[in-house]
Structure 1
Amino acid sequence: MKGQVYLYDQAQKGLFKGMNPFMTLVSIIMVLGTVFLGVFYADQSAYAVAAFRDWLTPFLEWYYVLLVAFLLFFMIWLGVGRYKNVRLGMEHERPEFTFFSWVTMLFAAGTGVGILFWSVAQPILQFQSNPFMDLVSSDADAAVIAMRLSFFHWGINGWAIFSFVGLALAYFSYRHNLPLTIRSVLYPLFGERVRGRLGDFVDLLAVFGTVFGIATTLGLGVQQLNAGLKAVFGFADSTGLQLSVISVIMFVATLSVASGLSRGVRLLSEMNFWLSIAAVLFILLLGPTQYLIGITIEATGDYIQNLLRMTFHTNVTHGSDWQAEWTVFFWGWWLAWSPFVGIFIAQISRGRTFREYVAGVLLVPTGITIVWIGLFGGTALYQELFTGGGVIEAVDKDIATALFATLAGMQLPDTVTSVVSALLILLLGTYLVTSANAGTLVINTLLSGGDADPPVIHRVLWGVFLAVLTAVLLLAGGLETLQAMVIAAALPFSIVVIGMIIGLLRELRSERFSPRSGERVAPLAEPWVVAEELATEHTEEAEITSESTK
């Protein structure tokens, strides 16, 4: 086919065959250097990161608010506006994955682990304190607001970030045959300079966020697994147990990613989905069913009704630390993770139109999130309101125990509680595996110059590397500092996101497949002919540039 994809500085032989040698070496040095600081200068690193974040917070409190709000409206416009019928690929292409497989992979790699960790803890913490408490007159109303705020931080605003990065990457990669890397979206701005060190720097930012984002997720997830094993089997809190769990998770993840996206990752994601359905049905049927349905519906209506207000909420009018601790944290987290999740979403979304893509990525995961938090968070709130509580005490003591404390508070037979706890442990483990293998695949895609099928040996090596990195950070106790670093790293990448917006808008001006309503256009050539012309556009520009240089 014309317009064959060229990769960015991929070595053809040697130790780094199939990879970009410069980026691979720099990323390894960057990771090892950060680990060295975290292990041997933990206190100094924690202080420096905390001070930097405190200095940034007043700026981020309005900057992140505006950026995330713009991305939300921008994605809605892409999904319903003039370009809604543009396809992420050539005109004759159709989606590689079924809608069911696509959605399960979206959710599993996107927020599965985070939702499990925070689905109980966040509603309980918001129930205790939030800037909107003065608007309620009862604990029942406070519970609804707590649910609404939890929906907000895990809902459509955050998925707007993920969906934009994924759509931009898929558009430039599958429609214009550019490599599947962040730098490709900046081609309309910088041209051939994206092949050089400027492009390397942009992709290294994405690698940095992905590596440490996965490491922190594995660390926090493993701590929650430890809490579950303690609740079900009586295992004590143990670093040795956590290291063993990391080894098992990364072993399975490495096997999965070595088997490829369409097999290993898809099968694990579908298994996650069915396990999630089983857990949801358990909570719904054996928990306070009427209350759970009621508060989920009411909180969803409250969320929709107040979405604009929450989207543009800043700290100025309340003077508390709530926005810095929650909204700034979550928007930074979503931005830091957007290269990882965006590339993964792009890899599984080829062949879909803008309309299909936006509807699927914005609405379906948000709906799943609302149901999950509504049922699990609602169960915890019901216990605090009507059955003597106990979850608040568990959350204040150790957030990782919140989910299992809620199960214990349902006062079901011990056998049933143990079985469901074991199910959630398995679900958490599979979500961790899915996130780890998706992250490993994305890291190698970036380091291979945009190859969507990077060498298996490097996938395996990075799987081992991530396991060792997580283990070292757990031993050093540096996960909290690392988490703060990932959020701080979101700031420079947010500037890249703005560049990506401009690049996408510039390239969309040349689209000829989605005229405005009532607009008359000249007949087009066969779709695949026009698509191939678009695919060769950047290659021809590169050849002209090369000739002029000579």
Structure 2
Amino acid sequence: MRSESGLFKGLNPTVTIASKVLVIGFVIFCAVLAERAGTIFQDISTTVLNNAKWFYLAVVSGVLAFLLYLMVSRFGHIRLGKDDERPEFSFISWVSMLFSGGMGIGLVFWSVAEPMWHYADNPFSDGMSDASAGMAMRLTFFHWGLHPWATFIIVALALAYFAYRKGLPLTLRSILYPFIGDRIYGPIGHTVDILTVAITAFGVSQSLGLGVIQMNSGLHNVFGVPNSIGIQLAMIAVITLFAIASVMSGVGRGIRRLSEWNMLLSVAIVAIVLAIGPTRYILNTLLQSTGDYADNLVGLSLWSDANADSGWQNWWTAFYWPWWMTWAPFVGMFIARISRGRTIRELIGGALLVPTLVTFVWMSVFGGSALFQEQQARQAHEQAVASGALVEDADFAGGAVLQATKEDTTLALFTLFDTLDPGLLGSVLSIMAVLLLATYFITSADSGTLVLCTLDSMGSPEPPQPIRVIWGLVIGCIAGALLYAGGLKTIQTASIIAGLPIAIFILMMTLSLHRTLRREPIAAAMLPAQVRPAAKDLDHHSGRAKASPTAATRREAAVAQA
């Protein structure tokens, strides 16, 4: 429960203290014993991936199927709030915040690098060929398409439903109410929120630490700024201050405005690359890869490499799915926070389909441009061999973008810009990308800080200002400490292990949500009379706070009228 006075006014003292002790203790362990901790976590994560890969694949694919069912079912029109409530944010602002709080950083980081890795090697085609170029985009679309957003949305939907529809706190403990009732306010609920806080803090801190490394690479590429730990720590300090200022101004001002700025800058970069890059190839790639993705969605979703068991999937799909699930509590809670007043159909359709389509455009523009450059380099090599300029068995190591990706993943995007235009425009694009990374990092940090504060304050949409400052500073300090001590890889590996209990929790969440939705009077009123639940079941309320008499009267009237 929230304290009403003293130092912890407006906060849950148990979650606030225990979560910080856990986070700081774990960070010290990873920083001081980075090598030993890394070895331990690597061994555990390898064991988990080898034995639970099928479970990860089944859970994520099952959640996606469940969401698509909800979107088109009789439950789709249920509003996440009161029956007459309307969304707090416009559709454009809402989608902008989805990207900024979701995977905006990852899209910038991997938009060139991942297609390059799949182009060089994948289990379905020969490397560096026409077939591998198409396969590279299919796999990239798969890893960044519907499945990751499904893991975010199931958390967001369950949280928004139980908080705004049933009057429970906007924390993950509320999802357990149909199973354990008021015990969510005791040790079980505290444990769930404490672990959520820890996972969120690690994820945001690691993202911030890895992000400044790519920003440093961009500044080095354009201005010759040294790649050094000092520069990176200074970047973390600046980003942390901006993030604190943004989170103190609230969702409606700071986070919303920065998110809209992110979208505008993203559109500008995409437009420039589309104009100066291989436009025809990009558009053909977008159309073909989207159809290829749709055609192979079910097969890829359930493919487990059972026969070859090559290990490739452990590096990619089976690595991505638990990784996305460790982000699900943070991103899901933020999506729930900005989605009050929308219907279930609007939330699933808007947050699942729209971001996926935009992601496909983004990946096609940057990944497609990089693949075109590599295809051109390969053809030039083959022509040189055919003409005798090179010996016949001369190995082709790839073009400039692929070689830069193999050398350092953070260089992939900036090398593409230099390849497209070695002059001023390439430098301008690199500067714009660094700015975009910075603003994405700020919005990720402030949205993550807001989620942490919300958890500390038992789901309050407007947590106290002091705790916002404290968590903002803690996030920055964790990122800096791990970057300095070399513990970022350890945190990443540990997060994969955390994906297993989160996957189990997501299963419970799905069952809890479906069980409660079936008791919704408005949804029940759409059933034929002979299969409609009894009145006593319709009156059953899964939340702690009772529905208002007005809302209850309207629902009963809907049932009677049907």
Task: Give the TM-score of the pair, scaled to structure 2.
Answer: 0.90
**Alignment identity in percent?**
44
Q: How far apart, in 2, do the equivalents of 1:381 and 1:224 lie?
A: 21
Q: Which residue of 2 aligns with 1:92?
A: 84
Q: Which residue of 2 aligns with 1:175?
A: 165
Q: Which residue of 2 aligns with 1:404?
A: 414
Q: How far apart, in 2, do the equivalents of 1:382 and 1:320 lie?
A: 28
Q: Which residue of 1 aligns with 2:544?
A: 538
Q: How far apart, in 1, do the equivalents of 2:115 and 2:80 lie?
A: 37
Q: Which residue of 2 aligns with 1:3?
A: none
Question: Residue 537 and residue 150 in structure 1: after superposition, are their counterparts in 2 closer, same or farther (change >3 A)?
Answer: closer
2:469 to 451, 460, 470: 460
Question: Residue 522 and residue 145 in structure 1: after superposition, are their counterparts in 2 closer, same or farther (change >3 A)?
Answer: closer
Question: Do residues 492 (structure 1) and 533 (structure 2) align?
Answer: no
Q: How far apart, in 2, do the equivalents of 1:243 and 1:43 lie?
A: 21
Q: Aligned AA for 1:374?
A: S
Deviation string, structure 1 residues 304-362 (Cα, Å, up to 9, x no partner): 10000000010312221111111111101110000000010001111111111111011
Q: Which residue of 1 aligns with 2:72?
A: 80
2:263 to 268, 273, 290: 273
For 1:196-345, list aligned pairs within 5 A: 196-345=186-335
Check the 8 A contact 2:326/2:498 in 1, yes or no.
yes
Q: How far apart, in 1, do the equivalents of 2:161 and 2:546 lie?
A: 18
Q: Aligned AA for 1:66?
A: A
Check the 8 A contact 2:168/2:543 in 1, yes or no.
no
Check the 8 A contact 2:182/2:544 in 1, yes or no.
no
Q: Secondary structure at the match of 2:190?
A: helix
Q: Which residue of 1 aligns with 2:20?
A: 28
Q: Which 4+ stretches in 1 moved above 6 angstroms?
A: 533-536
Q: Which residue of 2 aligns with 1:415?
A: 424
CA shift, 1:393, in A, is 0.9
CA shift, 1:515, in A, is 4.6
Q: Which residue of 1 aligns with 2:108?
A: 116
The Cα RMSD (Å) is 1.9
Q: Which residue of 2 aligns with 1:17?
A: 9
Q: Aligned AA for 2:545?
A: T
Question: Do residues 133 (structure 1) and 134 (structure 2) align?
Answer: no
Q: Aligned AA for 1:362?
A: L
Number of aligned pairs?
A: 522
Q: How far apart, in 2, do the equivalents of 1:391 and 1:183 lie?
A: 46
Q: Which residue of 2 aligns with 1:444?
A: 453
1:380 to 370, 374, 378: 370
Q: How far apart, in 2, do the equivalents of 1:413 and 1:321 lie?
A: 38
Check the 8 A contact 1:175/1:535 in 2, yes or no.
no
Q: How far apart, in 1, do the equivalents of 2:486 and 2:73 lie?
A: 48
Q: How far apart, in 1, do the equivalents of 2:265 and 2:221 lie?
A: 20
Check the 8 A contact 1:205/1:493 in 2, yes or no.
no
Q: Secondary structure at the match of 1:506?
A: helix
CA shift, 1:534, in A, is 8.1
CA shift, 1:141, in A, is 2.1
CA shift, 1:163, in A, is 0.6
Deviation string, structure 1 residues 93-122 (Cα, Å, up to 9, x no partner): 011111100111011110000111111110
Q: Secondary structure at the match of 2:112?
A: helix
Check the 8 A contact 1:176/1:534 in 2, yes or no.
no
Deviation string, structure 1 residues 426-453 (Cα, Å, up to 9, x no partner): 1110000000000000011111111111
Q: How far apart, in 1, do the equivalents of 2:525 and 2:466 lie?
A: 48
Check the 8 A contact 1:61/1:315 in 2, yes or no.
no
Q: Aligned AA for 1:55?
A: T
2:31 to 28, 39, 42: 39
Question: Residue 535 and residue 265 in structure 1: after superposition, are their counterparts in 2 closer, same or farther (change >3 A)?
Answer: farther
Q: How far apart, in 2, do the equivalents of 1:540 and 1:116 lie?
A: 45
Q: Aligned AA for 2:8?
A: F
Question: Residue 172 and residue 285 in structure 1: after superposition, are their counterparts in 2 closer, same or farther (change >3 A)?
Answer: same
Q: Which residue of 2 aligns with 1:365?
A: 355
Q: How far apart, in 2, do the equivalents of 1:47 and 1:86 lie?
A: 48
Check the 8 A contact 1:206/1:493 in 2, yes or no.
no
2:405 to 376, 395, 405: 395
Question: Do residues 146 (structure 1) and 152 (structure 2) align?
Answer: no
Task: Give the TM-score of the pair, scaled to structure 1.
Answer: 0.92
Check the 8 A contact 1:202/1:496 in 2, yes or no.
no
Q: Secondary structure at the match of 2:367?
A: helix
Q: How far apart, in 1, do the equivalents of 2:542 and 2:137 lie?
A: 50
Q: Which residue of 1 aligns with 2:60?
A: 68
Q: Secondary structure at the match of 1:17?
A: coil
Q: Which residue of 2 aligns with 1:527?
A: none
Check the 8 A contact 1:165/1:338 in 2, yes or no.
yes
Question: Residue 287 and residue 514 in structure 1: after superposition, are their counterparts in 2 closer, same or farther (change >3 A)?
Answer: same
Q: How far apart, in 2, do the equivalents of 1:204 and 1:496 lie?
A: 14
Q: How far apart, in 2, do the equivalents of 1:397 and 1:153 lie?
A: 23
Q: Which residue of 1 aligns with 2:515?
A: 506
13-22 or 396-405, which moves further after superposition?
Answer: 13-22
Question: Do residues 424 (structure 1) and 443 (structure 2) align?
Answer: no
CA shift, 1:280, in A, is 0.4
For 1:508-527, list aligned pairs within 5 A: 508-515=517-524, 519-520=528-529
Q: How far apart, in 1, do the equivalents of 2:191 and 2:51 lie?
A: 24
Q: Which residue of 2 aligns with 1:6?
A: none
1:49 to 41, 44, 53: 41
CA shift, 1:536, in A, is 9.3
Q: Secondary structure at the match of 1:273?
A: helix
Q: Which residue of 2 aligns with 1:155?
A: 145
Q: Secondary structure at the match of 1:83?
A: coil
Q: Aligned AA for 1:446?
A: L
Q: Secondary structure at the match of 1:16?
A: coil
Q: Secondary structure at the match of 2:234?
A: helix
Question: Do residues 346 (structure 1) and 336 (structure 2) align?
Answer: yes
